[in-house]
Amino acid sequence: MSFRFTGLAPEPFAPLWSLDDAALAQRDIRRVVADSDRGFPCRISLQNARVGETVLLLPHGHHDVAGPYRASGPIFVRENVAQAIYENEVPPSFHPRLLSLRGYDASGWMHMAEVVEGAELEAAIAEFFARDDIAYLHVHNARPGCYACLVERA
């Protein structure tokens, strides 16, 4: 089973970096300096920010569908990074994490969900995509619940 992990496109976030902290706060966004090499996962690059790196913490509508499964939540983004695309490979930053995998149909209805260790993610993806009713997956960090990325069939 071929699959693709896709980070968020950087373009919608680029203008935010020129705003001062007061303007960011009006949009419910905070500029944060990473104080650990874990805990500040960028949703564009699908890599962790490094200690001392500045990130933006902001609300993001990651599942903008009509219906009860519409969802938003907090994400971190780094400046001047490319959109990550991993074909048939789990992003390395996911390996040490406990993850929540959610399977949706083409209309955005959830039909399957599982909590897995990052090392088991590839096998879980194959299990989800073995079902014809699963059109795409969302990965979340299981403990804080924040959105990680989209997984599609490749």
The residues that bridge with 30 in the sheet, in sequence order, are: 57
Q: CA-CA distance, 13 to 55, in Å (whole number)? A: 11
pLDDT (tens digit per residue) in 69-92: 999 999 999 999 999 999 999 999
pLDDT (tens digit per residue) in 41-50: 999 999 999 9
- Residues in the chain, overall count: 154
